[in-house]
Amino acid sequence: MMASSSSSAALLAHARLLPRRLPPLSPFVRPCSASSASSSSTRQVEPPNLAQLCDKARISLSAKEIEEFSPQISKVVDWFAQLQDVDVENIEPAIRVGALDGKSALRADTPVIFEERETMIASLPDREGPYMRVPKILKENVE
Amino acid sequence: MAFRTSALMLPHQVGSGVNWRGQALKLSSKATWAVRSSSSCPSGTVTVGYAQAQERPSSVIRKIREDLENRERSAVNVMEDYLVRLRDREPQVQSFLHISEKALEEAKLLDEKIAQKATIGPLAGVPIAVKDNLCTKDMPSTGGSKILEGYRPPYDATAVRKLREGGAIIVGKTNMDEFGMGSTTEGSAYKVTANPWDVSRVPGGSSGGSAAAVAARQCAGALGSDTGGSIRQPASFCGVVGLKPTYGRVSRSGLMAYASSLDVVGCFGSSVEDVAILLQSIAGHDNSDSTSSTKDVPSFVETLKPVQNFSSKPLAGVKFGLIKETLEDGVDSSVVFAIRSAAQHLESLGAEVIEVELPKFSLGLPAYYVLAASEASSNLSRYDGARYGNRADAQELIPMYGNSRAQGLGAEVKRRILMGTYALSAGYYDAFYKRAQQVRRIIQTDLEVVLSKVDVLLSPVAPTVAYKIGEKTDDPLSMYAGDLMTVNVNLAGLPALVLPCGLAEGGPCGLPVGLQMVGKSFDEGELLRLGHIFEQTAPHWCQNVPPLVQ
């Protein structure tokens, strides 16, 4: 017992991290399994779960903001749903306008010196020498 | 500046008016335009729909160049004039987030070059304002967001660099809706810009600062960006000329990305010729933007003839298509009237105008918002407090991201990131993002088909003229609805030119209505040529300067 106390403390610390580390159960489970629904069917989609979206998008909203945004975002998502009624059978998605020119899209793979290195580094919110400094990524007692 | 009080040319009395060549002009519309006097307008008897008669718009950029070449004015004189006006009107309009401290110094350097008979660029000494989402090396670039407060980029955006290489002097950075997300410029984290036509109204957005600055003559021209109408709608609201180039015509390098498949950099001016000169300067392929086109950039300015060289029917053989769906219920009658009057004017110049139908037009709006929000949720992940801008205090990395974004980003930006995150979520991708891309294909094909039957499409830019500040801030969806007439053009990547075509009732001297001309891909030259002919021949109520400038 005594010997394992430090590792159980680590386990406890780990356990506290678990909820954040494990992917939350996704509310984005599609009600029907077909990957491309037949064009005429109006499909019901789950309303957004704002708290989980905030987690994914890494935005810490206050409870008040969640309350304020929820109906607004639900309204817009409901409005998006009209796209479900469009007949898109045999229509190729358009990722962009036109096609990329294979020649012009690629430039020669030759290094160039970026002259403004210092200006760029100067805009870092926190730095140590030439390095960008950020808060702890892992807790010290967790492997 | 002559100020006529004649009621002869009022739109509702045009039946007894004359066209630009003095020929009788008949309009069938019975739309009524309110006529009232207003003490805030110069004569006190001015009527709505008619602010003042003045000379036709001419290129202020060309004038600056001629003056410098003929030594009539020095670059310092030119810059001082603009800076005095800029500072004078800034308290009312609030179009700038930052004013350059070096503009006068740069003008002095230019004068020295001129004195030494050195060659000067096509934009030498021209005071230009730049939207704050375009990076400028020597000035802060915040994109209207608190998260980038005080940020100074290490390089100039390509469009800015090209302007500077042409000799232009950047006078400042203009206000905008945060990262381009908004239609009023009220979405700026810093200030609310006013419309120079009526300071209680919005200038439109998201490039509202650039449009208002040009309208208030605080600069000779300005750069903006257009993802779903952000150049065209403020141009319409502020009564200036705005050009959204074809996707890929102008490099996006150094433009803060919002929705990369839709974003374009474009320009504002007080005449079509100014806009042509600016586009000439910023267009072309750029190694730093793989989506920028390698197509040749033709001479846009060369095709703009002086008005005295026009034939009696300068638009003979040109076919315009008026988009029926943009003139239906829900569009203000004054807007419809102004557009129909403009169409009749084009007919009087020899053009053929037909109505075209685009039944899927309204689908472009939800498709646009799905695509824009999805791309934004990915593009804006870079604003996390780690590399630039404001960082929130936190002991660990993930809460630092979350708090920095929560504190640094505004409500509309957060909403769009969250909606985009939702639309891209596993399992929903097909239902939203892919489907929106399929609708984009439908819109692209439909527009391609109608543009094979006509040369240029015509429509309003927005269903209303400029509305009051605060009027639409509570309901995002009603704000989105105002973008219906512009977003399809971005989905199809087409070029579009907006120019003033009349005044509707409202404000001290009326409120401008813009005409949108949509052209074929990479056909900006034709749009500018036709726009120039319209501008130089249009009935004089189309050509006005806002009360603030009078």
Rounded to an integer, what distance in angstroms lies between the CA atom of residue B249 and that of residue B441? 20
Q: Give B223-278 as a DSSP string.
A: EEEESSSTTHHHHHHHT-EEEEPPTTTB--TTBPPSSTTT-EEEEEESSHHHHHHH
Q: Which amino acid is at B338?
A: A
Non-local (6+) Cβ contacts of B295 within 8 A are B249, B285, B522
Pick among B286, B438, B441, B520 to test the A interface (most A CBs inside 10 A): B438
Instruction: Kindly list the residues from chain B whose CB atom is less than 8 angstroms away from the CB atom of residue A122.
Output: 152
Looking at residue B540, its pLDDT comes to: 65
Of residues B118, B27, B131, B38, the one with CA closest to residue B511: B38
- Tokens representing B254 are 């150094």
**Please, what sign has the CA dihedral across residues B382, B386, B391, B395?**
positive
Looking at residue A5, its pLDDT comes to: 41
Looking at residue A7, its pLDDT comes to: 43
Distance of CA A65 to the CA centre of its chain: 19
Rounded to an integer, what distance in angstroms lies between the CA atom of residue A134 and that of residue B365? 40
Contact between B32 and B521 (Cβ < 8 Å): no
B60-359+439-542 is classed in which CATH architecture? Alpha-Beta Complex (3.90)
- Tokens representing B115 are 């004195």
Domain extent listing, chain A: 45-83
Looking at residue A44, its pLDDT comes to: 57
Looking at residue B475, its pLDDT comes to: 81
Looking at residue B258, its pLDDT comes to: 98
- What radius of gyration do chain A's Cα atoms show? 24
Is the pLDDT at B25 greater than 80? The verdict is no
Cα-flanking dihedrals φ and ψ of residue B25, to 5°?
-125, 130
Shortest Cα distance from A1 to chain B (angstroms)? 31
Q: What would the pLDDT profile of B257-267 be if each residue is shown by its tens digit?
A: 999 999 999 99
Cross-chain Cβ contact B405/A93 below 8 Å: no
**Number of cross-chain residue pairs from A and B with Cβ atoms under 8 Å apart:** 202
Instruction: Kindly list the residues from chain B whose CB atom is less than 8 angstroms away from the CB atom of residue A37.
Output: 430-431
* Minimum mean pLDDT range among B188-192, B388-392, B528-532: B388-392
Q: What is the DSSP letter of B402?
A: H
Torsion of CA B97, B100, B104, B107, to 10 degrees: -110
Cross-chain Cβ contact A53/B397 below 8 Å: no
Q: What is the DSSP letter of A59?
A: -
Q: B51: pLDDT confidence band, cut at 50, 70 and 90? A: very low
Rounded to an integer, what distance in angstroms lies between the CA atom of residue B163 and that of residue B126? 9
Is the pLDDT at A29 greater than 60? The verdict is no
Instruction: Kindly list the residues from chain B whose CB atom is less than 8 angstroms away from the CB atom of residue A107.
Output: 287, 290
Q: B272: pLDDT confidence band, cut at 50, 70 and 90? A: very high
* Minimum mean pLDDT range among A87-91, B20-24, B296-300: B20-24
Q: Locate the chain A residue with the closest alpha carbon to B391.
A: A125
Q: A142: pLDDT confidence band, cut at 50, 70 and 90? A: low
Q: Which residues of B are catalytic?
A: 131, 206, 230
Q: B152: pLDDT confidence band, cut at 50, 70 and 90? A: very high
Q: What would the pLDDT profile of B66-94 be if each residue is shown by its tens digit?
A: 999 999 999 999 999 999 999 999 999 99
Instruction: Kindly list the residues from chain B whose CB atom is less than 8 angstroms away from the CB atom of residue A88.
Output: 435, 438-439, 442
Residue A80 Cα distances to A44, B215, B441, angstroms: 12, 36, 17
The interface predicted TM-score (ipTM) is 0.84
Q: What would the pLDDT profile of B414-450 be if each residue is shown by its tens digit?
A: 999 999 999 999 888 899 999 999 999 999 999 999 9
Looking at residue B261, its pLDDT comes to: 97
Q: Locate the chain A residue with the closest alpha carbon to B262.
A: A96
Cross-chain Cβ contact B492/A73 below 8 Å: no
Q: What would the pLDDT profile of A36-64 be if each residue is shown by its tens digit?
A: 333 333 445 677 899 999 999 999 999 89
Of residues B380, B285, B277, B283, the one with CA closest to residue B66: B277
Instruction: Kindly list the residues from chain A whose CB atom is less than 8 angstroms away from the CB atom of residue B394.
Output: 135
Contact between B2 and B53 (Cβ < 8 Å): yes
Residues 17-56 (A) with a CB less than 8 A from some CB of B: 20, 26, 28-30, 35-37, 43, 45, 48, 50, 53-54, 56
Average pLDDT over residues B126-140: 97
A110 touches chain B (CB under 8 A): no
Non-local (6+) Cβ contacts of A25 within 8 A are none
Interhelix angle for B484-492 vs B435-453, to 10°? 90
Is the pLDDT at B472 greater than 70? The verdict is yes
Q: What would the pLDDT profile of B93-132 be if each residue is shown by its tens digit?
A: 999 999 999 999 999 999 999 999 999 999 999 999 999 9
The count of other CB atoms within 10 Å of the CB of residue A91 is: 17
Residue A29 Cα distances to A25, A33, B303, B429, B489, angstroms: 9, 9, 57, 12, 34
Q: A34: pLDDT confidence band, cut at 50, 70 and 90? A: very low
Q: What is the DSSP letter of A131?
A: E
Looking at residue B276, its pLDDT comes to: 98
Cross-chain Cβ contact B434/A58 below 8 Å: no
Looking at residue A18, its pLDDT comes to: 33
Q: What would the pLDDT profile of B351-394 be if each residue is shown by its tens digit?
A: 999 999 999 999 999 999 999 999 999 999 999 999 999 999 99
User: Higher-confidence residue: A106 or B103?
Assistant: B103
Task: Give chain B's mean pLDDT.
Answer: 90
